[in-house]
Structure 1
Amino acid sequence: MWLRLAIFSLLIFPGTAFSQVVISEIMYDLEGSDTDREWMEVFNESSSSVDLSGWRFFEGTSNHKLTLKQGGATLESGEYAVIVDDDVTFLIDWPNYSGALFDSSFSLSNTGETLILRDSELSDIDSVTYSSEWGGKGDGNSLTRDDGGNFSGALPTPGSGDLNSEEGSSEESSESSSSGAISATTPLFTPEIFAYAGEDRTVTVGADTKFEGQSIGLEGEPMTNARYLWNFGDGSIREGENVLHNFKYPGDYVVVLNVSSGQYSASDKIVVSALPAQLKVARGEDGSVILGNREDREIDLSWWYIKSGDKTFQLPEMTYILGSSEIRFSSSVTELSEIAELSLLYPNGSIALLESENEPQNQVPQQVVTEVVPKKRAEIPVIVPDIERVSEAEIKGEEQVAAPIAARESDDFYKWILALFGLIGLGVGAGLYIQKEGKDEFTIID
């Protein structure tokens, strides 16, 4: 956390670092794609040779190793070396380069950042905090250092330049003295203040998060009379060195801290990712309170509340719950009611979760089964019995379901047979009657 503050002090007091090798040129934003094409040049301004074996290039949050790919690791006085992101791509862009070449792995910011050159013991040798406002922003130029230590945009010249070593400076100084010329010393750094907003972080939606600002004055001392103004990127602004803020919605927010004192001002920005918390709150069999984290990330529960009935217990600052884990609080610590429903509250007192809202763990979704009934002939309606009224005998097979239909068909058939026999019987009876009446009226004569 104090790394950037230490860098600020080095920038203000450059004499505290032994600057025998300096960062002389920075190619951070090339025309077109930057991938594998970024590089940085260093220069040996001392009067003796310097071995760069084991040195590191600090950028972002890492000390990048330097691997020699071309030339020698020892820089003679007045010599240059180039540190590249990819040696093959660099030599394609610069096929005529023949000097010392070190391969590394980095990605330079297109807006500006701090670069540090460190020796094999990780002592800071030189550092530069550049800005895209200095030049070289995608226009084909690089940032080039002059003898006064100032950077400006100019055509890139990897492995060469106009810088002077101590040996050359001594000769020029001697010539100037003999001629009676008076030379003015150009200060290496312009006095300025620095702001520090902390590191990029992940916070929980709806939960108060503490933001702590820091600043360094003109003489490298912590400032006590500065004004701190925070812009949280969600439309909210807070004033104060240390403030609390909660994000209402998920998202990635750019938080900017501006520090001002008199005519001086400085700013710093960080990225804050606000994510919803997937928590649970439950009560153990022994009356303890269990908080569970259903996510893989660690969650800061500083100043959250656990409530049961009319009693509350506030979690102390720096209370964390690891990803996919649980923490338990004894009833002797919380002194909460073991009967009333539990609730988890944000630091501002609003409800985050109720015990009754916990989703059951390892719940297997119930599968809904829909019974498909085979389609019958269109003229015969399908009868589906009420499931609640079906007896055990009726659900043994399709025969029981189709029995009423078969019975109805059988009844219709028998009705037609009975009607036919009835007609035949009537015909036979009518014939016998007519035959009998005919015998009484007529006499048959032989």
Structure 2
Amino acid sequence: MRKIFLSLTFVLFTPSLVLGQVIFSEIMYNPEGSDTGYEWIEIYNTSGQNIDLSDWRFCENTKCHLLKPEIQGGNVLIAPNSFAAITSSIEKYYEVSTFSDNVIKSSFSLSNKGEKLILKNQNGKISDEVEYSKSMGGNGTSDTISLVDNTWQNSQNTLGSENIAKEISNSSNDNENQNSSDSTSSDNGSFEVDETKEKKIEKRKSSKKSIKVGIDQTGILLPKTETRFDLYLSGLKKENLEKNDIVWSMGNGDTMRGKSFHYQYDFPGEYIVNVEVLNKEKQINGVIKIKVIEPKLEISKVDYQNHFVEIKNNSEYILDLSGWQIASGKNKFSIPEKTYINAFGKIIFPKKITWLEFSKNQNVFLNYPDGKNFFRYNFYNQVKKEILEKQKKIEELKIEQKEKKKKSFQKAQIYKPYVQRTTQKENFENKNGDIEEKVTENKNIKEELEQDIQSIDNLIQDAEKNGYQKTVLEQNENQGSFWKENLFLIIFISFQLIIIIILFVYKILNHKENIENQFEIEDFEE
């Protein structure tokens, strides 16, 4: 069950400030100890209307920052005549501050020496600006600087309530000159605020009260889920308000009365809740912005052996499961209050907590707090769903593979001309290699012919050396006896010459054929 808190402090008179503005009212720029995360700025809505600060900017000199809600999914509204605190760290802020009515997160780091602070509205126009310095006070102490009587000065830490000026302690030497005109120094070095100022402060205490509206937001609401609304009052502790003095308009046409009650919205939507506190002196309004979303919850897993159930949140919001039910058969388990499930998160509920046992033959239900069914988990349907999901993944893989093949084919088509040119080049190189082999072969034949001719020359020279030619010339007259005596030698030489001539003719013819083939190859290449 969710709780919504609204805190109001009633006013008996409106400060003398410009209407329609959100202004700076108090600054903690240099706290004691570490500064990081412990600095804060108090702002005040001087108008009579609710102001949405979600599109406003908080600026340090020229560097501007967004204003964000304390809790994700909340709003940044500031009600009429109300205070809000701006901090850079929610966690550290609550370590040193008790004001929780309206806390806004932003990114900043205040200078200890002083700087200019600007608050700009959604149109970029300046709503308020202030330039502080350490000479004003609040430097390294528990004090702050605040707007008192339209003047910035050292003050008590009054975050979320009226500002009260305070004398600057002797340890703050930088501030002595500034306060010399408003105070007198005693012999022991302490400062005393003059009587006129004390009267002003007392008058301010007795006459001024400030209104502050804040909401302790815990996130986003779910339909048909009860939410507790609480109104906390400060500033009227001694007065007793009757039930009918507090009226809530729930934003859907319904009206509730009283300081606290339970309420549920049946349908998703955004609702502006207005609360009116009817006081004898004045009627005060406060506003809460409620967002109810359609649940995106499911039972994602049921373990039938260990008997646990897993619930999954498919939304981008943190959801409160208070009062929701897990049911199996006749047994059910109500989820305890303040059980939150993270955005896109899961929660496992084991048997030792739910005392539920699950069977494949029974459905498991996730129900609204009123018992109506929201989600049904069936084992066989789940198996079928898982099979369909696997088939879907297989189909997606097939489509992906087809796409890859298609891309590969397209890529091959692009590179096909290059491949063809490469193949032609390889064929040409192979043909050139064959031609070179044939040229080499022809060279070898030519060398062999030259060797044969050389052999013939050698035979002739040998014959001349042996005196055969001389014998023929000297015995020319007796030619018949010469043939008879040298017949065998003549036959042998003739046979050798015939063989040589035949070989020579054969090689000439073969060489001619090779040259013709070579010309044919060159013509083919051209």
* TM-score (norm: length of structure 2): 0.40
* TM-score (norm: length of structure 1): 0.46
State which structure, 1 or 2, has the greater radius of gyration over its C-alpha atoms: 2
- Determine which structure has the larger helix proportion and give its number: 2
